[in-house]
Amino acid sequence: MTRDGEQSRLLALERQIAAAEATLLELQAAILEARSERGLVAAADARLENERLQVENQLATREVVSANAALQVAVKASQTDSLTGLKNREVLWDRLGHDMALARRHGHRLIIYFLDIDGFKRVNDQLGHAVGDLLLQHAAAVLQTTVRGSDTVCRIGGDEFVVLVAAARREDATQVADKMARALAEPCLLAGHPMSISASIGYSVFPDDGDSPGVLVHMADEAMYRIKRAASRLHPPQPLLSRQQIS
């Protein structure tokens, strides 16, 4: 290699060394910056921000869970009678439509019972509303234990209940009504007062008596009042009757 060639090669190497040294100086400066107070503060700030974001995420998650729980409670409250825990009037129509659809699909019958407790006003007047509330709660518990879990028991107001029961035959309607009446008539003690609940029970049957929820409930209601009126003509009203009137 000529002298000129060696000098060119030497200059090229010197330029490469100078560039490498400059890069090294930049890296050293960056390391010093990171280790400096300003760098440590930036790192600490980043950690604090990360912790803050984690806390906010946990709080947001808790709020979502709490809001969902509150929503579920509100939905349940809107569908439940506060005194007895039964489904209320608003739910009745949804359940009735649902149960009618099942009865239609499976080819069986649905019995709609309308039930009224005899002498309930006199219980409130003579023994007080607190005892009347206990009577309603007791009646609700008895009705629930008398029918199957797949059947529906609703309190629609006052001392009136509607019970939806799936059945194979129309003849089953009277048997179930008698079963409910006998269960309600079992002696009980409410706030120290011995009682035997009497109920007037009317019913209609889907699809025999109609295909409209409103019509079927109205027919059951009318049947119940016919029984109650007939019984009142035959027997003077008593505070708590032990006789069951069934239709």
Q: Which of 141, 243, 138 is nearest to 201 (CA)?
A: 243
Residue 139: what pLDDT? Answer: 96
Residue 43: what pLDDT? Answer: 66
Domain residue ranges of the chain, discontinuous segments joined by +: 3-76, 89-246
Dmax over CA atoms of the chain, in Å, equals 140
Q: Which of 27-31, 80-84, 138-142, 233-237 has the lowest mean pLDDT?
A: 233-237
1 band by pLDDT with thresholds 50, 70 and 90: low
Residue 19: what pLDDT? Answer: 76
Q: Which of 89-103, 134-148, 224-238 has the lowest mean pLDDT?
A: 224-238
* Fold exhibited by the domain 89-246: Alpha-Beta Plaits (3.30.70)
Active-site annotation, residues: 159
Task: Give the Å distances, CA to CA, from 179 to 174, 199, 201.
Answer: 9, 12, 11
Q: What number is the average pLDDT over the span 124-149?
A: 93
How many helices, marked H, and strands, marked E, lie in the chain? 7, 7
Q: Which of 8-17, 127-136, 235-244 has the lowest mean pLDDT?
A: 235-244
SS (H, E, C) the chain: CCHHHHHHHHHHHHHHHHHHHHHHHHHHHHHHHHHCHHHHHHHHHHHHHHHHHHHHHHHHHHHHHHHHHHHHHHHHHHHECCCCCCECHHHHHHHHHHHHHHHHHHCCEEEEEEEEECCHHHHHHHHCHHHHHHHHHHHHHHHHHHCCCCCEEEEEECCEEEEEEEECCCCHHHHHHHHHHHHHHCCEEECCEEECCCEEEEEEEECCCCCCHHHHHHHHHHHHHHHHHHHHHHCCCCCCCCCCEEC
